Structures are given as C-alpha cells and as structure tokens.
Structure 1
Amino acid sequence: MKGVVLAFIFGLIYISVNAQASYYFPSKSSVWEQRSPKDFKIKNEVLEEAVSFAKANEYSGSKDLRIAILEGFKSEPFHEILGPTKKRGGPAGMILKKGYLIKSWGDTKRVDMTFSVTKSFLSTMAGLAVDKGLISNVDDKVGDYIWDGTFDGEHNSKISWRHLLQQNSDWSGELWGGKDWADRPPKEGGLDDWKYRTLQEPGTVMEYNDVRVNVLAYALTHVLRKPLPMVLKTELMDKIDASTTWRWFGYDHAWTEIDGVQMKSVTGGGHSGAGIFINTEDMARFGMLFLNDGKWRNDQLISKKWITDAISPSGPNPNYGFMWWLNTKGDRNWKQLSDKIYYAAGFGGNFIVIDKENDLVVVTRWLEPSKIEEFMGKISRSFN
C-alpha cells in the first residue's frame, strides 16, 4: 500500500513539473518560438479569420493620439494634455498558446501608448509592496502609511488600499491639478451638482476615475520609496527578459520628494497623456507571467496569492478586481466565453487577455473596443 501511495505522489509531482515545463518562456536574445495552430489542434483557418477581423476593425480614432485624447474626453471640464503622447501605429497583436506564438500581426516591436492597460501594471506594484511586507494588508487604511494630508478628513481617512485598487474609494480632492469630481462627470445635472455631491461610503460604489488611480500611484511611490518605473524594471520587466524600449511616464509637473530625492509620480493611464508606452511583445511577456500564476520559468516574481486576490470580483462590480477586468457574470460579461478569463484594457482598443483554461495569452492593439468580444469569440471557436 505504501508503494502505491508513493507512486501516486511521484505521479502528481511528475504531472506538476511537466505542466510547468509545457509553458515556453522566450529569452531576450532569441526570436519568439512559433508553433503551428495545428500542433495544438486549433483550426488555423478560423484563427486566421480572427486575425483578419482584428486588422479590419481598427480603432476609428485619430492616429495622432493627442487629438484622439482631447476628442475622447472633451466633455470633462478643465481637461488638458499634461504628459507625453505619441502617434500610434496600426493594428498589431499576438496569440500565444502555452507561451508559443501561434499567430501575430502588425508591428509587434513598435512602442505605443497603452492607456489604462497601465492600471494592471500599477496594481501589480501594489502586489509587490504587499509581497515585500511594505503593506501589511490591503484592508489597512492608506492614511496609516501616507500622512501628508492626502488621506486626511472624515471621508478620505476611511479609504483602504483595497478601495483604491478596486476603484470604489470615492477619494475626494485634487492631485497634480486634476480634480476628482471633474474626471468623467455624469451627463445628467450640472457640474456644481457633481462637485458638491454626497460622497459614497468607500467600498460601496465603483467609479472609473484616473485622478484616484494617480493617487494610488503617488501613495505606492511613497511606500516603495522609489520611482515606480524603476521598481517595475528591476523587479519584473528585467526578470521576464522584456526589451529596454518601454517607458512609464507621469505628468510633466508631477514631482514628489522622498528621502531628499525628487521623483516623478507616474500615472495609471493616458487620460491626459503619460502612462506606459510599450510594445506588443513586452505586453505578451507580462501576460505570460500572469498566465503562469506569477512565475517566470522557476522564479516566483509575484505571489500566487496576490494574483488570486487581484482577479477576485469586487463587491460593487463583479467584473472588476484589482485593476483587472473579469469575465464573470455581469454587465461586462463576454457571452459564450469562459468566466475565468480576465484582462487589462486601455483606450483605443489595447488589451492583454489571460485565458487560463485554454493556456492562452492574447494581446491586441488598436482594435475598435466594441469589437473585442466578437474577436475573442472567433479565437474561442478556433479551438472548440
């Protein structure tokens, strides 16, 4: 009986090791290894339809992203460009199965703005702070860590890290000239109604708001005591063999002093310019890290617990975790697709999609945002 038990245990170890070994992780110096869709019993002609669909449904906004931004957010009072922008390229993307490249299109080495995909990188900086013990618990009040007045007051003092990560803090104030109430104001009612509204109890109502996201970036910069791009580079991007071409910008005037050193406080998106500028291949590497539960080859770079927490639905919005969108049942559910899918999404149709059940990472850029569900449906049909 003992021999049977040992054989069973060794069998599980063998399966686990081989499951890990089945993922391919590209090195920096090598060309990304390609496999035929047929190697995975994926219908090549159906997958080609998906790629053709992505190419044919390019984001309709201007390629001059300064113009696209100003047009996209023209309803906001006081909105202006505060950080760098860059003219974009055309549609591009990669589809990875177990890390192997099975389809790509466009210029995957071109660096472009990625807008709110940056938020998923930002929340990962919070994960590193938690993993390192710099934040003891995401339910701690942020004001216990940041005592400069940013989280003072009856309302703001109630805000936890979880509230900021799930975008349900209703933080009230101004940062780098951006007023929380002026970010995506409601179409109904006057601005004064919104400016002097009753604040929602933290944790009860989700509101997508870049000013509050930038407050999170500011708070994390002070906790980590380093510029977030430096932390991202040394702790993650260098270790996943990313290129040296990506950049993470803040607004031109967004400087803060820590330990006597002036540091740029970066943004969590490109709402007013700035955010992460990155190529498709580096986005795919980041996606692979999450597909493999925070592990790159044999190195656990992000704890599996953090990823589990990051992709758990929030109370106010079942389709949102820690700055990752979730394909759970709700208003943002992609029909006929796995409810385990989660993804980073940014203005202009930038997406990193993680499909753990099918060992897939899909990166698509400059796809008309309303077409993402149909695009992913076509990919799904290729392996069903």
Structure 2
Amino acid sequence: MTSFSATLALQDAIDVARACETAWPRSMYYPDGSYVGNVEWNESGPWTEILGPVAERGGPAGVVLHHGKCVAEWGDAARPDMTFSIAKSYISVLVGLAVADGLISDLDAPVGETVTGPHFSGSHNGKITWRHMLQMNSEWRGEIFGKDDQVDHFRQIGVGADNSRKGQQREVGEPGSHYEYNDVRVNALAYALMCRFRRPLPDVLRERIMCPIGASKDWTWEGYSTSWIELDGERMQSVPGGGHWGGGMVISARDHARFGLFISQNGAWDGKQILPADWMQRSLEPTPTLDKYGFLWWLNRGRDANPNLSSRAFSGQGAGGNSLWISPDDGIVAVMRWLNPGDQQEFLEKTVAALQR
C-alpha cells in the first residue's frame, strides 16, 4: 500500500510530467504546414508523403501502476492519442502470439520460407529471419507501401540525435550485421506477420489480448492509403509500427497501462498464459548489434543505462515523448504521454524513489 509520504513524493514526479511537455504542436503540424515527423527526423526527398490519418494530440497525461494498483494518474488518461513507435512493442508481442500458435516455428528461419512474394525473396532478403526483423538488424532492402527503406538509412533517434545524413543511401551488410532503426523494415515485419495470421493485426490484438485484459474499445490501429492488400480473397490493411507517415496506433494511457500490466505478468492474465511462458525473457535479451535493444523493446542495459533504475527495466518508446515503462523489480508500470524525452529519466527516478518509501 502506498504511504502518504510516498504519495507526496510521487506528486513531485507528476509535477515534472505536467511541466515538461513536448515541444511538438498539438495539431501535429507546424505553422508552415510541416508534419512533426518530417521535422523531427530531418526528412526530405521522395518519401515524405503522409499516407495515413493524423490525429491532433492532447496534453500531458499518464498513469502509474504499483503492483497492479493505480497509484497516480494525470491529464486525460482516457483520451486516445497517437503513440508512434510504442506500436513496435505491440508488434513484438503479436510475434509471440504467432509463435504460440505455431505460425512461426523458428525465429531463425527465413521469413521467406512461409511468407511468399517479392519482399522476402532473392539472394539478400531471402536470408532474413524473423529474429533479424525483431532485432532491427535485418538490413532488409526494398520498397513497401510506397516507402523505400533508404529513407531511414543513417537515422538516429533519442536526445541529441544527428540526422544530418538521414536518407542518404548506404551499402547494406549481411542480415544480422548492423542495427538501424528503420520504420520501413518494421512495416515489412508487420506485413509478414499479417500474412502468417491471415488477418489484420488490429483484429488479432483486439481478440487475443486487448479484450481479454479488459482494455477499452476506444483504441485504433490504422495503416496507409497504400497498404491495402488482398489476402485469401479479402481486402485488408497492413498497419505500421508507428506514426512516421501518419496512421499507427491511437490509444489511451489507461489502455497502455493495462497492456503494460499484462506484459509485466509475463504475458499472462487471470491465470491464463496467453504468450509463450518464455516469450518476454527471449524478448528482453540484448541483441548482438545493440546492447540496449531486444525484440522491439528498449532495455536499461549497456553503456547508456541509467544506474539509478533497475537493469531489468524496459520500455516501449514513441516519438513526441510517449513511453510505456516497466520495471519488474519495482512492480511498476508507468505510462508517459507527451513528456519531453530529456525529462523522462528524472520522472522515472522520482517515481521509483517515491514508491520505494
């Protein structure tokens, strides 16, 4: 049970979350008409077109759970907002479901063995495995839904990122050899996963996870105008792993927190093991090409780790100051919406300190 002194200390963290709002405009467009993503990643050239819906954002909001109990909530925590790359972590969990269903029998098998078509065939892409795609080191080459993977060559993310070379073509290496944060490649993974389920990913997520854990019906996950395909005679839309070019997941802080609680319980809910029992353990192993990255989850590991937070903590991160942070050692699930990335560590340190009292 959270003590009165801890509640007061937790208010210090909430004050940070309220005061340090992202500089992104609430309309998601700057006065000159530029989309926030294009400005954030210094994006120009032939692949900048916004292909999916864009939703105006709300203000700072969030939720903190401690041992499953809500101990803090601020802003409009029920408001669905764009969440950008936190959607990647949802894709990772859906891969876990595909493994549970036997749709992916071996993460080290080439994707092209079970996903037909040009995207995972040939001398290079034909060697790419599911593990490569999950670890962001696939070096996948090509175009899908009107976006070429070159758009994210030399891309950097995080505080102080230098994207002056972003979009310049580089020579790719062998699959598994080089980490690169590349949204086109994640979109190719989402497409491949849809082909294995033979169903749109939002339908699978809703039926298999979000409804069983009691999430609201207010969240959506939309793709691009260009990402409709026909599969088994049905027209369905592939969804992206973020809002880089519009679309993506629009969800509330409360629903994120409920999903985070499910993940913190090792993919189980009400006594039912939904994900493979070892899935989250496998997902949180540092990749060989980036020690702070797992299967589309960020880890508090490696040289950039925050020593004031648990080394077993991990998170889903989205542009604009969105974060779903989970610390099994502390029993904490924290959701931050529109909190300036440079202030997130202070918020987390204050939160953990308050709840350890």
TM-score range, shorter chain: over 0.9
Q: What residue identity is the alignment partner of 1:157? A: G
Q: What residue identity is the alignment partner of 1:47? A: L
- 1:238 aligns with 211
- 2:20 aligns with 57
Aligned equivalents of 2:133, 2:303: Cα separation in 1: 21
- Of the structure 1 ranges 344-353 and 73-82, higher mean CA displacement relative to structure 2 is found in 73-82
- 2:74 aligns with 105
Q: Match for 1:373 among 341, 345, 355?
A: 345
Q: Cα distance 1:190–1:327, how it changes in 2: closer, same or farther (>3 A)? A: closer
Q: Deviations for 1:284-314, whole angstroms, at most 9, x for unmatched residues?
A: 0100001111111212111221111111110
Shift of 1:64: 1.2
Q: What residue identity is the alignment partner of 2:45? A: P
Aligned equivalents of 2:61, 2:300: Cα separation in 1: 23
Counterparts of 1:11-26 in structure 2, within 5 Å, are: none
- 2:196 aligns with 223
Shift of 1:184: 5.0
- 2:160 aligns with none
Q: RMSD across aligned C-alpha pairs, in angstroms?
A: 1.6
Aligned equivalents of 2:316, 2:42: Cα separation in 1: 24
- 1:146 aligns with 115
Percent identical across equivalent pairs? Answer: 41
- 2:177 aligns with 204
- 2:334 aligns with 362
Q: Cα distance 1:277–1:189, how it changes in 2: closer, same or farther (>3 A)? A: closer
Aligned equivalents of 1:367, 1:352: Cα separation in 2: 12
Q: Deviations for 1:98-126, whole angstroms, at most 9, x for unmatched residues?
A: 11111110001101000000000011111
Aligned equivalents of 2:153, 2:323: Cα separation in 1: 21
Q: Secondary structure at the match of 2:118?
A: coil
Q: Cα distance 1:76–1:334, how it changes in 2: closer, same or farther (>3 A)? A: farther
Q: What residue identity is the alignment partner of 1:58? A: E
Counterparts of 1:23-62 in structure 2, within 5 Å, are: 37-38=2-3, 43-62=6-25
**Contact 2:98-2:197 at 8 Å conserved across structures:** yes
Using the size of structure 2 for normalisation, the TM-score is: 0.93
Shift of 1:375: 1.1
Aligned equivalents of 2:322, 2:86: Cα separation in 1: 7
Shift of 1:230: 0.4
Flag structure 1 segments of 5+ consecutive residues without an equivalent: 1-35
Decide which structure has greater helix share: 1
Number of residue-to-residue matches in the alignment: 343
Aligned equivalents of 1:324, 1:74: Cα separation in 2: 24
Q: Deviations for 1:144-179, whole angstroms, at most 9, x for unmatched residues?
A: 011211112221111000000111001000011101
Q: Secondary structure at the match of 2:225?
A: strand
Aligned equivalents of 1:125, 1:354: Cα separation in 2: 18
Please say if 1:277 is aligned against 2:250. yes
- 1:6 aligns with none
- 1:180 aligns with 149
**Contact 2:43-2:166 at 8 Å conserved across structures:** no
- 1:70 aligns with 38
- Of the structure 1 ranges 61-70 and 206-215, higher mean CA displacement relative to structure 2 is found in 61-70
**Contact 1:76-1:184 at 8 Å conserved across structures:** no
Q: Secondary structure at the match of 2:107?
A: coil
- 1:344 aligns with 316
Aligned equivalents of 2:137, 2:153: Cα separation in 1: 15
Q: Cα distance 1:190–1:275, how it changes in 2: closer, same or farther (>3 A)? A: closer
**Contact 1:267-1:275 at 8 Å conserved across structures:** yes
**Contact 1:119-1:323 at 8 Å conserved across structures:** yes
Q: Secondary structure at the match of 1:253?
A: coil
- 1:297 aligns with 270
Q: Deviations for 1:315-334, whole angstroms, at most 9, x for unmatched residues?
A: 00111001000001233x12
Please say if 1:249 is aligned against 2:214. no
Shift of 1:266: 0.5
Aligned equivalents of 1:349, 1:323: Cα separation in 2: 17
Shift of 1:44: 2.1
Flag structure 2 segments of 5+ consecutive residues without an equivalent: 30-34, 156-162
- 1:7 aligns with none
Q: What residue identity is the alignment partner of 2:338? A: W
Please say if 1:88 is aligned against 2:57. yes
**Contact 1:76-1:183 at 8 Å conserved across structures:** no
Q: Secondary structure at the match of 1:101?
A: strand
Q: Deviations for 1:24-82, whole angstroms, at most 9, x for unmatched residues?
A: xxxxxxxxxxxx6218xx62222110000110000111111243223223434221211
Aligned equivalents of 2:83, 2:44: Cα separation in 1: 21
- 1:157 aligns with 126
Larger of the two Rg values belongs to structure: 1
Please say if 1:316 is aligned against 2:281. no
Shift of 1:198: 2.3
Shift of 1:190: 9.3
Q: What residue identity is the alignment partner of 1:377? A: E
Aligned equivalents of 2:10, 2:104: Cα separation in 1: 43
Aligned equivalents of 2:179, 2:125: Cα separation in 1: 15
Aligned equivalents of 2:44, 2:200: Cα separation in 1: 29
